[in-house]
Amino acid sequence: MLLSTAVALARQVARRQPRKLLVRAMATPAKQTAPKQEESQLSRSVLEEVLLSEKPKPTTFTGKVAEKAENTFMYVAAAASIAALGAFVYVLGDTFFANDSPNKIYTRALAMIRDDPRSQDIFGESIAGFGEGKRRRNNIASHAYEKDGEQRVRVLFHIKGERGEGNAQCEMAQRDGVWETRFLFVETKTSPRITHVIIDNR
């Protein structure tokens, strides 16, 4: 009887042990994920503290004066930057888009030369324009002066086509507040020299 009872108790113990191990195995992941949750909560709290924290206001007289001086410097720097940008835009627009700007007069004159049939006969159908020097192709020679109560601007530039090279001169005058073309002519550089007047309102 004693032997049979001992065998029965051993079997019951053997049956119960796997369940305890299974329960422990199932409980282990929960213990491993707990540190990760704590780390994420900690990093989140630190980030919120950095983003939501406010700069402490100075309490002393010296600190208040320093803060006001810093704010004033920032406002002055911002205003100076805006003023500099406005001046740059004004100069850029006056240089390239004003009616009396040399670049705009050059652009208009070159377009009229390209559309002129006689200029095409002399220099070719494809005519290019450029300024002074090999490295200063966009440096258009110009001269502004006043005569007979008129503001005048004269430009000189080079032209080149398949049939030859030449020079071009164009002058604009302000009459009654309106800029008009006084003259525009082209001439060849090689002999025999050919001069062709496209516009003459002198």
Cβ-defined contacts of 169-173 (< 8 Å, 24+): 170/105, 170/106, 170/108, 170/109, 172/99, 172/100, 172/105
pLDDT band at 67 (very low <50, low <70, confident <90, very high): confident
**Residue that has been written with the tokens 């705009």 in this structure:** 104
pLDDT of residue 141: 93
Cα gap 78→103, rounded to integer Å: 33
pLDDT of residue 139: 84
The tens digit of pLDDT for each residue in 83-98 reads: 666 544 444 444 445 6
3-state secondary structure of 188: strand
Cα gap 20→72, rounded to integer Å: 73
Segment of 71-75, 76-80, 117-121, 188-192 carrying the highest mean pLDDT: 117-121
pTM: 0.53
